[in-house]
Amino acid sequence: MERIRKRIRDRRGTLLVNAYPAVIITAIVMAVLLTITPPLLRKNTVDRINNEVARYVEIQGDISVAQSEFDRLCRAKEVRLDNPSVHVDADTIRGGQIQLDEEFIIYIEYDNIYEIGTIAKITKRATSKATGRSEKYWK
């Protein structure tokens, strides 16, 4: 403790010169973390929502409910996405119904925006994929 007090009271200024790079590096690391973290958290949230939509479609056995369930979950979890789209890849019968034990894939695509302060704005299309099997038998 006494060494620290002596360094602070020292008039030569070496502490300031030694601490300056550490402060700059810390500020840069914090700026990068604050820039990258929100899009990654958004991607994680969309993946969880997509799994819930897949489970709902499994139970209903109908792909027409995917978009409405996705919209409902986004509102419930207060997730705002830029240009979202929901696509279901499945073998269907009679207007979107999936037969028992048929596999399907749900793709959710949206624009993920990475901002570096006011310097740069990078938009990248992100995709979430979830698979499932229908649990409903259609006669």
pLDDT of residue 13: 57
Beta strands in the chain (DSSP E): 82-90, 103-116, 120-133
**pTM summary value:** 0.79
pLDDT of residue 98: 92
Who's near 53: CB < 8 A, 6+ residues apart?
A: 66, 69, 70, 73, 86, 106, 108, 130
**12-42: pLDDT as tens digits:** 655 566 677 888 899 888 888 888 888 999 9
**97-124: pLDDT as tens digits:** 999 999 999 999 999 988 877 788 889 9
pLDDT of residue 52: 96
Distance (Å, whole) CA 133 – CA 91: 11
